Amino acid sequence: MNPTLRTYAELVRAPAAITVPGDVVAGALAAGRPGIRRTTGLAASSVALYWAGMALNDWADRAEDAVERPERPIPSGRLSPGAALATAVGLTGAGLGLAALAGGRRTLLRRTLPLATAVWAYDLGLKSTPLGPAAMAAARALDVLHGTGPGRAAPALPAAAAVAAHTFAVTRLSRHEVDGAPTSEPKLSLATTTAITGAGAAHLLAGAGAGSVSAVVADRPGGRPPTVARLFSAAAGGAHLGRPAAGAVAGLLAAAGRAGTPGPSTSAARRPVDALTTGAALATYAGTCARAQTAVVRDPSAPRVRAAVGAGIHALLPLQAALVARAGAPLLALPLVAALPLVGRLARKVSST
């Protein structure tokens, strides 16, 4: 690879962008049969904004990376801070422009601008605060809603909540990539994977739509977060995860149950091929996450944490595939699952974290 191209690929974590279009497709399908041109344009917009966020992240963290990750493009001297910031600005502009062309002014204002704002707010202010994981989860949820374009966002809220819960746990774990993690963090990640997989399996078994999520994550009507927080603590082997962390993940999953509305995804999973594809994608998701998370529970060292974070990023693909198949598009789900080994191979050349 050309050295300059490789430097920019490292800056934006290019392979990880493969996990982005599935958010948009899942949101678009949940909201109804989307136009191919619009969905493709919005997916391209999301990729540009994702890359912008990665470039901005390196610009904002350049002093910290000089100590902890001196091999990154800026501290290694291969790229100037100004070039990284210009890349972030240019890619943000490209993302906004692509969205305007694909979805029009209403989509730009209602979907793309909030997503871009979340990306910049995370990198420039929220990342190092206790709100950081929630902010990243919100950005991923907004990416799912991005796929709804100018239409109603409500039908896509269950899918957005599932992606957000997964992202929340992965982001919390990523904060320990340098120094290693307390065992409570991989246990929270593992509990989240279990809850998301269980919610998806319950949906298949019940065949009653997204509202079945609340039956999995709550032990009393309403799916109230305090009760679910206790479930997460128990699933994590009794470790103290903290009410805010467990309650946040639980609240996202319970919200998926409360937000479920009749629509394309409600009855789609009743068809055998949809159910089979959804189940296979959920199994792939669970296996991809749980293997790495279990390894961190046993050995919470920094290399294991980085491997688990990478696996968590890549596992978005089978999670998206499950959401897409549940919405009645199993043929679109297959490329998402098939891309999993590809992104793994690419990540060995250019890291996703």
Return the pLDDT at 224. 40
Average pLDDT over residues 181-185: 90
Which has the higher per-residue pLDDT, 237 or 142? 142
HSE-up of residue 84 (Cα within 13 Å, Cβ side): 26
H helix intervals, 12-35: 21-30
Compute the distance between CA of residue 103 and CA of residue 112 in angstroms, rounded to an integer: 10
Number of alpha carbons in the 13 Å side-chain half-sphere of residue 253: 37
pLDDT of residue 204: 78
Residue with the bigger pLDDT between 97 and 263: it is 97
pLDDT of residue 270: 55
Q: Which of 25-39, 148-162, 244-258 has the highest mean pLDDT?
A: 148-162
Write down the domain spans for the chain: 1-152, 181-340
Residues 23-50: pLDDT tens digits? 999 999 998 867 899 999 999 999 999 9
Is the pLDDT at 133 greater than 70? The verdict is yes
Say which DSSP state 322 is in: H
More confident residue, 241 or 203: 203
Residue 113 clears pLDDT 80, i.e. is over it: yes
Topology at the third CATH level for domain 1-152: Tetracycline Repressor; domain 2 (1.10.357)
Q: Is the pLDDT of residue 128 over 70?
A: yes
* pLDDT for res 4: 92
pLDDT band at 286 (very low <50, low <70, confident <90, very high): very high
Top-confidence residue, 176 or 231 = 176
pLDDT, position 252: 54
pLDDT of 34: 73
Tell me the CA distances in angstroms from 280 to 161, 264, 283, 309, 338, one per residue in order. Answer: 21, 20, 5, 22, 12
Q: What is the pLDDT of residues 209-234, one digit of tens each?
A: 433 333 333 333 444 433 333 333 33
| For residue 352, pLDDT beyond 90 | no
Per-position DSSP letters for 84-117, written without gaps between them:
HHHHHHHHHHHHHHHHHHHHHHHHIIIIIHHHHH
Contact (CB, 8 A) for 256 and 313: no
The pLDDT of residue 32? 84
pTM of the model: 0.83
How confident is the model over 155-181, as a mean pLDDT?
Answer: 94
pLDDT mean over 263-276 = 62
Mean pLDDT of the chain: 84
pLDDT value, residue 214: 36
Higher pLDDT pick, 247 / 238: 247
Question: Residue 244: what pLDDT?
Answer: 56
Report the pLDDT value the prediction gives residue 220, as an integer from 0 to 100. Answer: 39
Q: What are the angstrom distances between the C-alpha of 313 and each of 43, 110, 118, 188, 289? A: 17, 26, 18, 16, 9
Q: Residue 271: what pLDDT?
A: 79
pLDDT of residue 23: 97
Q: Are 263 and 307 in contact (CB under 8 A)?
A: no
Q: Looking at the predicted structure, is the pLDDT value of residue 242 above 60?
A: no
- Name the most confidently modeled range: 27-31, 116-120, 265-269, 296-300: 116-120
